[in-house]
């Protein structure tokens, strides 16, 4: 889950909802950026976090009893394997994109345990077979994967509320055209992207979140109960072309 601190508590966004937001962003993008096998690509964007542990499978509190943001969790090989295994049951295209995402996230990790090294090496071998299957070059694959990564990163910037003033310009990353794109907050509280990459001159996306007016918890079960009882709220972001 994504955890944002409040003065007397926390704002919680489930990662699956963050992934739905990434999918909504993908649907708004110019069609020229869309990879082939569009339904499968969209599914990979929305579902690439679906292997994460649920409330009963992992600890969601720090030693101080505070909710753990997903960035604070250590390596969970079981979760990594689940993500790839679940993609196996959908399509070879989804499997290839999800595997590429796993390689992108974990290959640069320092002091990788042997189990992860072995797993990543196996993914590289499978990726080569999939490239032959789809008759793609590695360069083409990385261009298609860049679309997934862009939508995912844009969603994360919004969910983490990283845009707080009009002087900020956050680089989202490269798209298929190879150019970097920047997202920024405008004086009218709408968002801009430079260069513009959405199909329409204006678009709106949203995500659900929960607020909890409690700073610490005695157990993950207590946190879970508070989150599930909290009123579901919705936040909207409007993008507008200059």
Q: What is the pLDDT of residue 79?
A: 87
3 state SS of 135: coil
Distance of CA 192 to the CA centre of its chain: 20
**pLDDT under 70: residue ranges of the chain:** 49-58, 177
Q: What is the pLDDT of residue 177?
A: 66
Measured between alpha carbons, how far is 132 from 149 in angstroms, rounded to an integer? Answer: 23
The 10s digit of each residue's pLDDT in 20-37 is 999 999 999 999 999 999
Q: What is the pLDDT of residue 58?
A: 64
Measured between alpha carbons, how far is 236 from 242 in angstroms, rounded to an integer? Answer: 19
Strand positions, DSSP E, the chain: 2-6, 9-13, 169-174, 180-185, 191-194, 202-212, 232-240
User: CA angle 228-44-101, nearest 5°?
Assistant: 100
The 10s digit of each residue's pLDDT in 183-233 is 999 999 999 999 999 999 999 999 999 999 999 999 999 999 999 999 999
Read off the pTM: 0.94
Residue spans per domain, the chain: 2-240
Query: 3-state DSSP helix/strand/coil percent for the chain, to nearest 5?
Result: 45, 20, 35
């Amino acid at each position: 889950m994504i955890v944002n601190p409040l003065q007397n508590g926390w704002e919680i966004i489930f990662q699956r909802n963050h992934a739905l937001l990434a999918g909504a962003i993908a649907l708004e993008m110019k069609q020229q950026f869309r990879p082939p096998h569009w339904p499968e690509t969209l599914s990979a964007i929305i579902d690439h976090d679906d292997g994460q542990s649920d409330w009963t499978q992992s600890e969601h509190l720090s030693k101080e009893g505070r909710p753990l943001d997903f960035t604070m969790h250590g390596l969970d090989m079981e979760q990594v394997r689940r993500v790839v295994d679940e993609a196996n049951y959908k399509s070879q295209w989804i499997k290839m994109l999800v595997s590429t995402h796993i390689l992108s996230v974990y290959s640069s990790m320092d002091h990788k345990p042997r189990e992860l090294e072995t797993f990543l090496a196996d993914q590289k071998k499978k990726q080569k077979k999939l490239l032959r299957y789809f008759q793609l070059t590695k360069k083409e694959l990385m261009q298609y994967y860049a679309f997934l990564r862009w939508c995912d990163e844009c969603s994360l910037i919004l969910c983490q509320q990283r845009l707080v003033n009009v002087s900020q310009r956050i680089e989202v990353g490269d798209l298929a055209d190879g150019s970097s794109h920047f997202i920024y907050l405008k004086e009218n509280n709408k968002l801009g992207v430079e260069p513009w990459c959405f199909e329409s001159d204006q678009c709106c996306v949203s995500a659900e979140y929960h607020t909890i007016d409690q700073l610490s918890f005695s157990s993950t079960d207590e946190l879970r109960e508070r989150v599930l009882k909290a009123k579901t709220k919705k936040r909207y972001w409007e993008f507008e072309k200059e």
